[in-house]
Structure 1
């Protein structure tokens, strides 16, 4: 049982870390810079961390910029206000995302400027045989170590880890929680103490200061677990935080 618990938690946290650090704070917002070699390293880490639910850093970055520019309007790629339910929102997001991945979109060039784009890894991560291979690997781990068939109910979360993390924030953090700031959209801070989503649930804070690398810190209990990692990486030269990271994509 311990192996399965550690495997699940390891997959959960590596997936959410790569999403918040690389896809969100780097690809979408450009809160820091890194060398081409480190960018490739984090591409590979994202491929490993998200596995069967790999999300294109390029497509994620473009789509998230649109979300900030058009939050809770009809042009928002994923707004609960324009969806019948969470699954309807996820399906619309998938269609929007696939249009970007397959270059069928008509999104203005300003939203695409500076997003990372390692063509090979974008192609590899999106191949269905590769996604099925990751899913098979997860299943084999459970066959080998699950102490009970009930544990196999966790497998769908492994298969869809990336979209699940996105749906938690894009749906629930626009419907429930508290707000530190008045905004023109419905973004809220979903969790008062966020180790589960590594800072992502401080959504109201983030929508107020879209380029701020620390998503928490406005109340005593708001600790963003990803931010100390960012500061450490900045200190040892893996990344370079921008001097002014309080600009929003608007």
Structure 2
């Protein structure tokens, strides 16, 4: 049982950190800069961490830019206010993401062209055989370490870890919580201490300051990932960008 719990927690946090740090804060918002070496390092980390639910970084960035451009309008790919349930929202998100990934839709943002790609990792991450391989590894781990079949109910979370994180943040972060800023959308801060999603549920703060690396604004709020970002900046692995408001 202990092995299963440790594995689940490690996969949860590796995936959500990859999504928040690399896909969201770096690729979509350019909150900091990094060298080509560290781009490849975090690109590869994202591939391994997300595994079977790997999200193509450039397509994720294009999708997320559309969200900010049309936040909580009918053109928003994943506003909870235009879908009856979270499954409908996830289905529409997947459709728009797939259109960006396959070239059926082009991003209107000029900054998207400058974002890094890694064709080899993209091909591996988008391969159905690689995705099934990751799924097989998760199942094998549970086969050897799960004390009873009931633990297998956690496997779907491993299979879809990236979309699970995105669905929770986008649904709850625009539906439940409190607001610090009068933004034109309906974004909210779901938690004051965002322990599970490393700061991602501070959606109201984030939509007010979309390229600010610290998603917490008030003294009682805590963006769990931000101290690590400061350490990486001190080590010159990244360089933080100037903050601008929406």
**TM-score when normalising by structure 2:** 0.97
Instruction: Give the match for residue 239 of structure 2.
Output: 240
Gap regions ≥5 residues in structure 2: none
Once the two structures are overlaid, the 10-residue window that deviates more, 104-113 or 156-165, is: 104-113
Q: What CA distance in whole angstroms lies between the structure 2 residues aligned with 1:188 and 1:23?
A: 21
**Greater Cα offset, 110-119 or 226-235:** 110-119
Q: Displacement, 1:75?
A: 1.5
CA contact (8 A) 1:66 1:111 kept: no
- How many matched pairs? 246
- Give the match for residue 12 of structure 1: 12
Tell me which moved more, 129-138 or 179-188. Answer: 179-188
Aligned partners of 2:106, 2:193: CA distance in 1, in Å? 39
The answer as to whether partners of 2:65 and 2:109 remain within 8 angstroms in 1 is no
CA distance in 1, matches of 2:39, 2:111: 20
* Residue 191 of structure 1, CA deviation: 1.0
CA RMSD of aligned residues (A): 1.1
Q: Is contact 1:62–1:111 with CA below 8 Å preserved after alignment?
A: no
Does the Cα contact within 8 Å between 1:67 and 1:78 map onto a contact in 2? Answer: yes
For residue 103 of structure 1, what is the aligned residue in structure 2?
A: 103
Q: Quote how far apart the aligned CAs of 1:111 are.
A: 5.5
CA contact (8 A) 2:199 2:224 kept: yes
SS at 1:240's partner residue?
A: strand
Q: Distance in 2 between matches of 1:91 and 1:76?
A: 13
Q: How far did 1:115 drift?
A: 2.2
Q: Distance in 1 between matches of 2:129 and 2:208?
A: 40
Residue 37 of structure 1: CA displacement? 1.0
CA distance in 2, matches of 1:141, 1:195: 26
Residue deviations 1:116-168 (CA, integer Å, cap 9, x gap): 21122122101110000000000000000001111110000000000000000
Q: TM-score, length-normalised on structure 1?
A: 0.95
Q: Does residue 1:227 correspond to 2:226, yes or no?
A: yes
Matched, 1:2 2:9: no
Query: 1: CA distance between counterparts of 2:47 and 2:203?
Result: 25
